[in-house]
A and B are shown apart, each in its own frame.
Chain A
């Protein structure tokens, strides 16, 4: 592997922290990740947890690098075992120079193991912090910086917990530093760390929505979408927005439509099952031409499926959700930055085209923390309900006035003396229900007309890698980094490889990508589902048949290793 030198100092290191739910695994993971980001490293977090509050086996994996890390890695370089089970389960995943950090009492650590005398350092309650101290020492991080991160994490709310954590951290750090003879510092120091943020996909969606001027968010809790609502709720008061936990997802989307009708840029967030309940509301948004941003964070289905794992199997569902024919756009961010910027794009599209716009993510991206450059929030304008500067409003005002673009000037109820009438029935231009079938025809055409304008704003897929490749890897959504890394690994082995990532999967504009498909010798579609949904969609839209597919549907994220293995290119 090119990213490994002969000594033990590496440019990229994969740290897996494993334990039971309730052992403070995520706490330690987040503190370590944040400390790494503050020390100037790039990180890529993959979380794996079971659908339970206590017990079970969970992991928090941080792939850390001096340069940008863009994908997860399966081989473990540093295994931090908070319980014995973790050692057993992950021993076989260790890389050749891998190191285990575990309590001295744990069995089965036959590889190189740093055995922590946890009992001597602290009580069971702080065992996670004792492990953290040892990891921090091995990585060569600044102990003061980590102590400050612990302090920030527990804050002033729990001073006694913060104090004990600080003490245990210090002692364990000192103890591990004393073992330095046996273990070398694992990561080179970043000389001049620039300011970075640590953020996951859901947080970036929430922040993107805040900068867009979201004023209403309604949701029913559902993994893995819930933390979008929690993030927005934390800032609702300061930002003057309303976050309402609805009685069900049907209410959530209908509330968002009501709020949007009243002028509040609105968003909902859910996962497959919850979205199934929202589907009639999607159709309502289209018929009433009410802007709404709908985040669907995918998880393995059918039905309840695997609630805390990842999958990309709802593309066809989201594409076809809602009875009747109407335009929509589906954005599929590949990175945490993408979550931020595409959420802004979604609000722009929703307000402009007055209808449902989707952001399709998944559990992997929702929970994946990354290091990113701060956003230039001062330069980002909020997105306001679209209305012409000087509206040429007919009297009486017609909410659904027929125009060349299909987009009608939108006024808001109560702000002027004009009356706004929106209807889920087929309606006349002034919004009242009608059974005039000539009007019906004109209204169908008016709504579909907006599709042309939506097409004009489609984000083209991003091509990377070599020209005229022997192998073109197609992907969409969260697998972008893994596919790009797999591609560059193959290129470095002399196979001309390129990638094409779709951060918008609907509408598809064939002129954007057919050239790439045609010039490649072989095209392989990489997707987190069992049937190749993007490949099939491309065939339907263009006739181009992508026969070769790398599909993952075991609930785990797509990794570079997985892609190579499936392509029979094992490292």
Chain B
């Protein structure tokens, strides 16, 4: 019986009131609900305040480079598909530095859950615009306001018919924990963009700002309907929809390759001889 105590309790480097705390709690609750033992789970993170999250629970961890958690996770999953692999990092890491990997992971549909702590700002480097910052968002680096249009990860993922696309909010722990469970259970690439305030560097998108806007999708919403999903994916502003926005049943990359854990694969000498003789 796995309990929340199995995942431990650690001191963090986060600011009081940070959106990361409830996300960490939602992750632990999801793992307990799914009865996953710490050693069955691998967290892969990049760099940033969000990327520190895996250090604050008990599990296998590969804390890699900024932007590069997806390829590390992809390699780890392909080498051992029996691991539950979760990528956890921020919006700058995953959508900025790691943008190309995000697109490739969607195309591969590798069986990974990607948890993006999205606070629309770079926190660890003290407040520059991130790929998801709204246009006009002012910072010391963008004193005249962010000039680029924001990246909409949900719309991009839905447009590419990613396997599982969801949006959660750090202020709704139960809802978020449920999304995480469904993403882990989904055999393919599961994106959860988690909206969260940065209490130190984002004075616009605050707890209250999100609370006013974030609204779970209606029960009757059908995430298998791509045409509706692409419309919902573009909704942003006064109302921000939460929940599973799109999903499909495409087989995952690791299923298609179907080799199982590579570590137990034999190095067959007869085949080796056959390969060599092909050069004769």
Contacts and interface: CB of A to CB of B under 8 A. Distances in A.
Nearest to A378: B269
B85 to A, nearest CB: 9
Interface stretch (A52-60, A94-102, A197-205, A440-448): A197-205
Contacts of B70: 251
Interface string B253-274: 0000101011101111101111
A105 interface: no
Contact of A258 (B37, B79, B272): B79
A203 B39 CA distance: 38
In which size bucket is the chain A interface? Answer: 35 or more
Given A218-B75, A264-B79, A198 B60 contact: no
B82 A244 contact: no
A207 B38 CA distance: 38
B58 interface: yes
A431 interface: yes
Given A246-B104, A421-B60, A262 B263 contact: yes
A512 to B, nearest CB: 32
A258 B65 contact: no
A252 B72 CA distance: 9
Contacts of B251: none
B95 to A, nearest CB: 15
A413 B79 CA distance: 11
Interface residues of B, number: 54
A439 to B, nearest CB: 15
B80 A414 contact: yes
A254 B72 contact: yes
Nearest to A197: B279
A240 B259 contact: yes
Contacts of A199: 279
Contacts of B52: 433
B279 A198 contact: yes
B265 to A, nearest CB: 3
Given A197-B279, A240-B265, A263-B262, A378 B273 contact: yes
Contact of B39 (A197, A251, A288, A416): A416
A453 interface: no
B132 interface: no
Q: Is the interface of A mostly helix, strand, loop or mixed?
A: mixed
Contacts of B78: 216, 242, 244, 255, 259, 264
A48 B244 CA distance: 55
A264 B276 contact: no
Contacts of A251: 68, 70-71, 74, 100-101, 104
Interface in B48-75: 52, 55, 58-65, 68, 70-75
Contact of A254 (B42, B65, B268): B65
Q: Is the interface of B mostly helix, strand, loop or mixed?
A: helix
Contacts of B47: 424
Contact of A235 (B73, B80, B100, B275): B275
Contacts of A284: 64-65, 68
Contact of B75 (A257, A412, A419): A257
A412 B71 contact: no
Given A235-B275, A281-B68, A378-B269, A258 B75 contact: yes
Contacts of B80: 262-264, 412-414
A51 interface: no
B76 interface: yes
Nearest to B40: A414
A260 B79 CA distance: 8
Contact of B59 (A262, A266, A419): A419
B99 to A, nearest CB: 10
Name, among A251, A257, A280, A419, the residue most crowded by chain B CB atoms within 10 Å (CB to CB).
Answer: A251
B156 interface: no
Contacts of A216: 75, 78-79, 262
B274 to A, nearest CB: 8
Given A241-B262, A246-B71, A258-B72, A421 B61 contact: yes
A382 interface: yes
B75 A377 contact: no
A224 interface: no
A378 B271 CA distance: 10
Interface in A291-332: none
B235 to A, nearest CB: 29
B267 A211 contact: yes
Given A240-B266, A374-B276, A433-B52, A247 B100 contact: yes
Interface in B172-197: none
B280 interface: yes
Given A241-B265, A248-B100, A424 B63 contact: yes
Given A259-B79, A414-B82, A422-B62, A377 B269 contact: yes
Given A242-B259, A433-B63, A207 B76 contact: no
A215 interface: yes
A385 B38 CA distance: 22
A280 B47 CA distance: 13
Contacts of B60: 413-414, 419-421
Given A255-B71, A378-B269, A203 B279 contact: yes
A207 B274 CA distance: 11
A239 B83 contact: no
A425 B64 CA distance: 8
A197 B267 contact: no
15 contacts: A197-B280, A216-B262, A240-B266, A241-B265, A256-B75, A258-B79, A260-B75, A261-B62, A262-B76, A264-B79, A280-B65, A374-B280, A414-B80, A421-B63, A424-B63
Given A210-B267, A241-B259, A377-B273, 4 more contacts: A238-B275, A247-B103, A264-B262, A423-B63
4 closest Cβ pairs, A-B complex: A258-B75, A240-B265, A262-B79, A255-B75
Interface of B: 37-40, 42, 44, 47, 52, 55, 58-65, 68, 70-80, 82-83, 100-101, 103-104, 257, 259, 261-263, 265-269, 271-277, 279-280
